[in-house]
Chain A
Amino acid sequence: MIKHIEYPFTEEKIRGLRVGDKVSLSGRVCTGRDRLHHFLVKGGKCPVSLRDGAMYHCGPVVMREGDQWVVRAAGPTTSIREEPYMARLIETLGLRVIVGKGGMGEATRMACRDHGCVYLQAVGGAAALLASCIERVDGVHFLAEFGSTEAMWEFHLRDLVAVVTMDARGHSLHRTVERRTRKTLKDLLSE
């Protein structure tokens, strides 16, 4: 069964999600990757409120067509690079949802638990499919400073499908798989 969640993502809704839940995400999300995270943690001002909001780890391919932005490709980027910054941003900005790929580490897992946030794993590389879930582009920030890939894009989504892999109860599917496969690796190496 798929759970639909829509912006604004209230703490109650988010705390109701469990690792393994398949969700379909709609409404506003903002992209952010290496430069934005670094900028915000160093005290840069966030141009839009992310309270009860979602951050998408993504550097899209966006084209200007006439007076419109058209998103051609928008899959998730590897989230672990933002691990040094994520916990702090969850706390200070009031983020409730992170969408990315590959999972995140202990600091983020704790921040999700303490502040009520979830991490959603989208299908890495599925850029065409995920771009088709973007109904429109509502704005862009830091385009000149960071370039198109690293800019902060405001997307309005319709039914982006992902899986909860870190929930607000401190569970992480990434950690579970890593631990289980470590055992198998050990067995394979003792053959």
Chain B
Amino acid sequence: MKKAHWEKNLVELIRRTSTDLPADVEQAIRKGLRREKKGTNAHDFLSMMLENAAMARRDSVPLCQDTGTLTFRFTVPTGFDTNGLASITRNAVSKATRLGYLRQNTIDSVSGEPYVTNVAHAAPVMEFLQGARKTVDARLIMKGGGCENVGRQYSLPDVALGADRDLEGVRRCVLDAVWQAQGRGCSPGVIAVCIGGDRAKGYAYAKEQFLRKLGERSDVKVLARLEDRLMRDIRHMEIGPMGLGGKTTALAVKIGSLSRLPASFFVSVSYMCWAFRRRGVLLGPEGGVHRWLY
């Protein structure tokens, strides 16, 4: 393994993720802008979001100062040295922090001391899967605290929401989560949902939905229909960009499902801000770039 190659390209993955808003997200914001009336807060704020995206890309500076929790998802060939890759990834995070692509954003929860390199136990988050290809598929999502704080998990049935253990119950949970969030998750957001699973995997699988492109509908028909219905419902709420009113509250709704225990029925909702940072790259056996994803 040529460490220098790997590290350089992983730093580049972090740089791109932090500074370069993906095209599908930018397009969705543009679409929202066309719906809003000129001179309104909604129109002004969406315009400033696009201006910010252009500036961050041009100057190679973070889109948002909260550079968030870094979650790497590596799909590697059989027999690949994942411990080695983990160690290189931690070095890349530390370097990207020194270069100012990441904020000093990691704090010891007991002592309150900052970890100035952003490397600590389980920081960055790394997942390794085994794939059939010879290349390493490396994907990174950076998710800030503002939107993470407005995520919610429901256990059905929920009497207050009138939510039973069915898709209508799921719809009620999602609408409640979006309403509770108001503008605090930095709307317009992307709403990811997991139906089922246990509490831990429920949130994790909801977040996996963020890897899907915004235009990509669920391949499960009933879930695709629910995604569409929720988009319409959320538009009616008129929470608007940053919660100041307007038609653009969500950029997409993404729903996945997992099996569950007979006794449990969780609906986990994860909220992603408009500054949706997601990038990926295919790396060859020596760490060279095959192709950038998204």
Contact = CB atoms under 8 A, between A and B. Distances in A.
Interface of A: 20, 22, 35, 58-61, 63, 72-75, 77-78, 80, 101-103, 121, 123-132, 147-150, 161, 163, 165, 173-174, 177-178, 180-182, 184-185, 188-189
B191 interface: no
B49 interface: yes
Given A131-B61, A149-B114, A126 B49 contact: yes
Interface string B50-71: 0110011001011111110000
B44 interface: yes
By size class, the interface of chain B is 35 or more
B186 A101 contact: yes
A63 B186 contact: no
Contacts of B240: 177
Contacts of A127: 52, 56, 61-65
Nearest to B178: A185
Interface stretch (B5-13, B78-86, B100-108): B100-108
Contact of A188 (B236, B244, B274): B236
Contacts of B114: 147-150
Contacts of A184: 236-238
Secondary structure class of chain B's binding surface, majority of residues = loop
A123 B243 contact: no
Given A123-B242, A188-B233, 19 more contacts: A22-B44, A60-B103, A73-B61, A101-B184, A101-B186, A103-B182, A124-B273, A126-B49, A127-B63, A127-B65, A128-B59, A128-B61, A150-B114, A161-B44, A165-B244, A177-B183, A177-B239, A177-B240, A178-B182
Nearest to A130: B52
Given A102-B146, A126-B52, A182 B61 contact: no
Given A123-B49, A185-B176, A149 B146 contact: no
A125 B189 CA distance: 12
Given A59-B65, A78-B149, A128 B55 contact: yes
Contact of B63 (A103, A128, A180): A128
Given A72-B61, A72-B100, A189-B162, A101 B55 contact: no
A103 B243 contact: yes
Nearest to A74: B65
Nearest to A148: B104
A149 B105 contact: yes
B245 A177 contact: yes
B146 A101 contact: yes
B19 to A, nearest CB: 8
Contacts of A149: 103-105, 114
